[in-house]
Each structure stands twice: as C-alpha cells, then as structure tokens.
Amino acid sequence: MQRVEREIARLIQEIDYDVVTHLFEKLQGGKRLRAKLILKIATSSEQAPLLGAIVELVHGASLLHDDVIDEATLRRGTPSVNATDGSKTAVMLGDILYSKAFSELVLFDREIAKVVSSSVTALSKGEMMDVKMSQNFNDDAQIYLDMLYLKTATLIEAAAQGAALLEGKDAQKHALYGKNLGLSFQIIDDILDITADEATLGKPAMNDFVEGKCTLPYIYLYHALNTPEQERLRRLHAKVLDKEETLWIKEKMQEHKSIEKSFALAQKLSNEAMQAVKEDAGLIEILETMIKRSY
C-alpha cells in the first residue's frame, strides 16, 4: 500500500498545480478497498501498485462528482470539496483525476484498460440512474440493485478482474467476487445509514431517504406495510424527517425485519463471492471484515 500511495502522490505531482495537490489532500482517509483488492490478487505484478493508484483516482473523481450531485457538505466526517471550494471546483478536480487516470491506464494491456475504462462509463450511467430514481419513490428492489451494480459495484468488479488479468488468474471468477463484494458492501452501507449514529457515519443518520434514495430496507419495508402505511412512507420520502417520523420508520423496520432481510441478501452475495475464490484466504478475509461492519 505504501507503493500505491507513492504512485498516487506521483500522479498528483505530475499534474503540476498546487491547487489540485491541496484539494486532493481533502480526499485522503478512505479505505482504499479497491487498491487493497488489486494488491491481494496481483501479488507478484510490478504494475499492481500503479493499477491500484489509477483505480483510486477514478474512485476519488466519482466521489467528487457524487458530492456535487447530492449537494453533500460532508465526506468521511470532514467538509467536502464542494462545500469548501464550490461545486465548479469539485467538478473540475474530478475531471482532472479522471483524465489523469486514463492517461496512465493506456500503459496497461488493452484488455485490462478496457475493463477499467468500461467500468467508468458504467458508474457514470449508474450515477445518472440514481439521480433519476431519487425524483420518485422507487419500490422495485431489482431496479435498485441494477443501479447499485453500475454505480458502486462495477469499479470494484473491474479492480478484481483487472488484477486477475494482470496476474494470469481466472478473470471471471474474480469479476464475480468483485461484483458481489461491491453489492454487499453497499447494502451494508445502506443498513448503517439507518442503524448507525451521525458520529459514526460522518453525516446525518437516515440521510439516504431524506435525499430521495429508496434503499433496500425502505423497499422491503414498503412491501410489508398496509396501504395507509405505504402512503405515509411515500409522503415522508425526500423530506427532512422529525423525531416522530424517524422513530415510526425505525419501529416499522424493526417490526417487519427490513434490516434483517437486507442483511440476508448481503450475506448471500458475500457467500457466493467466497465460493468463487474459496482457496484465497486473503480475499475471504476482506469479505468477512466487510460483513462485520453491519448493525
């Protein structure tokens, strides 16, 4: 990981603009899940740290754009770039990170470059779907999972698949692993948005629903409610919730086990991922650690 960090620092330094260097420091502190995954899979490749750095730049760019779209003021518990320096600056910084990542990606084998670059198209499409879906109450779990795959899981899938290609391992099995890891990781995040407190999240609890996002627990809850209750949940969608409304949602989720149902799907996806790479203890450990983040 030290080599990944050095590669990231080198790429940022090559941009040769102090403003970018300063702003990029605000993005530090993430889990570096994608880079760690690449290093776990491509253990002997000299190119693995650079590929990890490229994928982390792509991820950072997507977060910058995501915060602008969501008008988020916090990122990992600290003020977001769009909050401190404005949305225009955040978008341009994201564009710089994307373009720098692509300029380095051309150094890799064509198939690896295509896997990673295609995932960036997919995650941008997923972001657009997310924006469209937040305009109305979505009660279709499959539509939500399709969006989740594009927006979140596809880059993790690409990291795992690209690393497998780099190392000469089974690319399809590792792609399945990455896809399911990404989906289950985000489902756990959706759960934590409801069950964790603001200090843990680095943002207000139940913020997803306030922003108009109907994540799995809300979808499962909706289908368990009677008609008047369904109408009430719809009315609360995309509005600031008071204490009584928050309590009602949480009590109904507890009554109908919406959180447990969501976690069961995350566990199922995680188990499928484990089966795909059952002989790789390091990758299984990543999954187990991710699942333990739950409520």
Structure tokens at 77: 């518990």
Q: What is the pLDDT of residue 200?
A: 64
Q: What is the pLDDT of residue 203?
A: 64
Total residue length of the chain? 295
Bridging pattern class, strands 78-79 and 74-75: antiparallel
Q: How far is CA 27 from the centre of its chain?
A: 15
Inter-residue long-range contacts of 75-83, CB under 8 Å, 24+ positions, other chains counted:
75/26, 75/27, 75/202, 76/29, 76/30, 76/202, 77/202, 77/203, 78/26, 78/29, 78/202, 79/26, 80/26, 81/23, 81/26, 81/27
| Domain 1-30+48-107 and domain 109-295 have a common topology | yes
Superfamily of domain 109-295: Farnesyl Diphosphate Synthase (1.10.600.10)
Compute the distance between CA of residue 166 and CA of residue 89 in angstroms, rounded to an integer. Answer: 35
Q: Sort 190 into a burial class: Cβ within 10 Å, 0-12 / 13-18 / 19+.
A: buried
Compute the distance between CA of residue 78 and CA of residue 68 in angstroms, rounded to an integer. Answer: 15
Q: Which residues pair with 268 in a beta bridge?
A: none
Query: H or E element: which one contains 70?
Result: helix 48-70
Q: What is the pLDDT of residue 103?
A: 97
Amino acid at 293: R
Structure tokens at 279: 């002989």
pLDDT per residue, tens digit, the chain (295 aa), is: 999 999 999 999 999 999 999 999 888 767 899 999 999 999 999 999 999 999 999 999 999 999 999 888 888 778 999 999 999 999 999 999 999 999 999 999 999 999 999 999 999 999 999 999 999 999 999 999 999 999 999 999 999 999 999 999 999 999 999 999 999 999 999 999 999 876 666 667 798 999 999 999 999 999 999 999 999 999 999 999 999 999 999 999 999 999 999 999 999 999 999 999 999 999 999 999 988 875 4
> Which candidate, 108, 95, 86, places its Cα nearest to that of 38?
108
Compute the distance between CA of residue 36 and CA of residue 58 in angstroms, rounded to an integer. Answer: 15
Structure tokens at 30: 């993430």
Q: What is the pLDDT of residue 46?
A: 97
Q: Please, what CATH class does the domain formed by 1-30+48-107 belong to?
A: mainly alpha
Compute the distance between CA of residue 272 and CA of residue 275 in angstroms, rounded to an integer. Answer: 5
In the chain, domain spans: 1-30+48-107, 109-295
Structure tokens at 248: 């009602």
List, in order, residues 6 or more apart from 214 with CB less than 8 Å away.
133, 137, 138, 139, 144, 222, 237
> pTM surpassing 0.85?
yes
